[in-house]
Amino acid sequence: MHTIVIDGEHAGRRIEKFLRTRLKTVPAGQLFRLMRKGQLRVNGKKVQEGYRLAENDKITLPALHAAPGREPAPDVPEYLVKRLRNTVVHEDQDVLVIDKPAGIAVHEGTDNPAGVIEVFRQLRPELPDLELTHRLDRDTSGLLVLAKTPSMLRYLHELLRDREDEIERHYLALVAGHWKQDIESIHAPLLRRADKVVVDPHGQRAETRVVVRQRVGQRATILDVQLMTGRKHQIRVHLQSQGHPIACDDRYGFAKFNRRVEHLGGRGLFLHATKLVIPKPDGQELVVEAPMPQRWKQLLKAGL
């Protein structure tokens, strides 16, 4: 028999999620069968899927066999490691915060062999519990928070789910046109459709606050945007709904404006997560900032 003793970091986790993380080479079906048959026990008792672990729980289970033919995950592409190696802007015992470049996904997917989380798990093997706490679109640059421990991951997920108003999330957005000074808040419910998000009265509540940061002639405006809710594509759709889509947004943008930006050398979505203010469990505030990317400054010099 094999015994695993639960420490405080993993207290509160569902047993199946904990085991799938701890025993990555064992098929999930094998673990679930052991639970159903009572061969996997906690403190000597049979448990069901969904059981929440407590500190000092003792999980006992028989010898397990790895999935046939399963191999360790391959190394991530070296070019991704090079692009992300020096992007850390803050680190403490609980979190690691990076300034993600545009064009890099946060995790692996159909069109990308690896993303931020795979890179940092390779770069930081001493952090086996490293996880993404939130997402950024592939083409959005800026601040991304990774939790080092399960307890911090649960805490940040609970903040984002139930206490969004306690977190400040600021973005820079370069948008088409002359933004009207009196548009300071956008309240427009958002609904997901097959290939995009739209403003729809039957959608989820969504609120975005906007402050003009810089005028770029009459053709464009740089905005300081604060997310009050966190819906998919919220900033992109809210700004487009006001007639001022983000530069180089190939889904919600203006084709003519995008062509002009690209003609001047602008590449990639001009949306950047620039500041985070997060209350931590100890009562302190974590404040992290990421400056305007260099590619933005080069475009502004070129003149819109």
CB of 113 closer than 8 Å to CB of 122: no
CB of 6 closer than 8 Å to CB of 54: yes
| Structure letter (DSSP) for residue 112 | B
Report which of 170, 298, 300, 279 is spatially closest to residue 225, judged by C-alpha positions. Answer: 170
Does the active-site annotation cover 200? no
Active-site residue (options: 94, 111, 137, 250): 137
Quickly count helices (H) and strands (E) in the chain: 8, 16
Report which of 213, 217, 240 is spatially closest to residue 225, judged by C-alpha positions. Answer: 213
What are the φ and ψ backbone dihedral angles of 54, each rounded to 5 degrees?
-120, 155
Rounded Cα distance, 133 and 155, in Å:
10
- Rounded to 10 degrees, the C-alpha dihedral 132/266/250/185 comes to 70
Q: What share of the chain is helix, strand, coil (3-state, %, to 5)?
A: 25, 30, 45
Rounded Cα distance, 107 and 96, in Å:
16
Active-site positions read 137
